[in-house]
Amino acid sequence: MDWGRWVEWPSPEALSRVGVPRARRALDVLLRAGLALWLLVSAYEAHLSRGAGQIVVLGVAGACVVAAARFPRATRENRWGLSCALLSVLGAAGVVGHLAGAHEPVILVWITAAVLAMSRMPPVAGVAAQLLFLAALLMITRDSLVEVLMSAGAVALLGFTLRLDEQARGTGYRLLAQERDIRAAESMAAALGERARIAREIHDVLAHSLSAQTVHLEAARLLIERDAAREQILERVVAARAMAREGLAETRQALSALRGEMVPVDEYLHEIAAADGARVEVAGEPRSLEAEVSQALRRVAQEALTNARKHAPGASIQVRLGYEHGEVTLEVRDSGRTRDEAPLGETGSGYGLLGMRERAELLGGAFEAEPEGEGFVVRLRVPA
């Protein structure tokens, strides 16, 4: 048996009034006012208000009202001593009333004390209060033992029912607060994920465009140092300018993609492949793809064509897009550098392949990049 539960206070949410409807609060106020009024009326009917008795009645009634009003705050603060002292005030008021002959008000005060203890204090205090109430009933009433036990049981059941009701309300409010925290955390995670996705898109576009421009500008610099022909230098500068324009177009396309305005993947592949004279093959029935999948296919195809242009200029390139059951595949294959063409040069540090592999892993797919024959092949497979 877990004895710690016997001295465990109800949850803070159950002891507070947070989440209690206004109508319920108004009913509670009316109930307390009605009980206080009934207490005073019963005292007057017992002829305790004559002479000095009137002062006693007002004093005892005032002490009961103050104790009952202060008790909820003491329990919210989990103050054992103060809570027991306030209940003792109610018990002592009942004893004074009994000695003065006001039996009905006494029963009401003791019932209030027993219900408050059972509903708002640790179980050990609630049980102790019920036992004291039972003992008091046995001493002051002439009812049979069965009737006394039934009365005490009804009071205990009322207090326990109120306790369960408040605990259920507190649990519901706590779960609601946790759900709000979870939703806030999910919103924050979604925002961070979207920021990461935007950063990845812009990075990939700029890395692709600036890398190609660097190749052409570096070649132009070397030609200038070697006093090469004006036409050759102009060719490199024009190519760099074209890449700058392409990068701007890609940036606009990436922003359009973030807004959900994207052309189909197969059309995009035909557009970018035309500049390199690559052949595009689409297998399967084209279908609508999620934004992340579509962007991954675009970026991998773009990076693969850029690598082929850098490392195997003049090679024939084949691009295959396959719509398969539950997934989409992309394959970019080049035949290798021709003998009469020299590579444009090395740029970057391999981040292109790392970026493509990262995109595939984020989508739960697979990425391969490896030599094949005299050429190179890039394969991407993502669920879709």
* pLDDT tens digits along 155-171: 899 888 988 888 888 88
Interatomic CA distance for residues 276 and 261, integer angstroms? 25
Question: Looking at residue 344, what is its pLDDT?
Answer: 46
Q: Which of 36, 109, 129, 113 is nearest to 71 (CA)?
A: 113
Question: Looking at residue 136, what is its pLDDT?
Answer: 87
Question: Looking at residue 257, what is its pLDDT?
Answer: 61
Question: Looking at residue 206, what is its pLDDT?
Answer: 67
pLDDT tens by residue, 193-232: 777 767 666 666 666 666 667 777 777 777 777 766 777 7
Residue 199 makes CB contacts below 8 A (sequence gap 6+) with none
Interatomic CA distance for residues 198 and 221, integer angstroms? 34
Question: Looking at residue 350, what is its pLDDT?
Answer: 43
Q: Give Cα 21 distance to the centre of its chain.
A: 26
Low pLDDT (below 50) residues in the chain = 342-351
What phi, psi does 382 have (nearest 5°)? -130, 145
Please tell me the pTM assigned to this model: 0.49
CB 270 within 8 A of CB 233: no
pLDDT tens by residue, 247-262: 666 666 666 666 665 6
Question: Looking at residue 342, what is its pLDDT?
Answer: 47
> Mean pLDDT score of the chain, rounded to an integer?
79
Question: Looking at residue 252, what is its pLDDT?
Answer: 63
Q: Which long-range contacts (CB under 8 A, 24 or more apart) does 136-143 make?
A: 136/94, 136/110, 137/107, 137/110, 140/98, 140/103, 140/106
Interatomic CA distance for residues 338 and 39, integer angstroms? 107
Q: Give Cα 331 distance to the centre of its chain.
A: 39
Domain ranges of the chain: 3-142, 264-384
Homologous superfamily of domain range 264-384: Histidine kinase-like ATPase, C-terminal domain (3.30.565.10)
Residue 172 makes CB contacts below 8 A (sequence gap 6+) with 19
| The pair of three-digit structure tokens given for residue 270, joined into one six-digit string | 């035909």
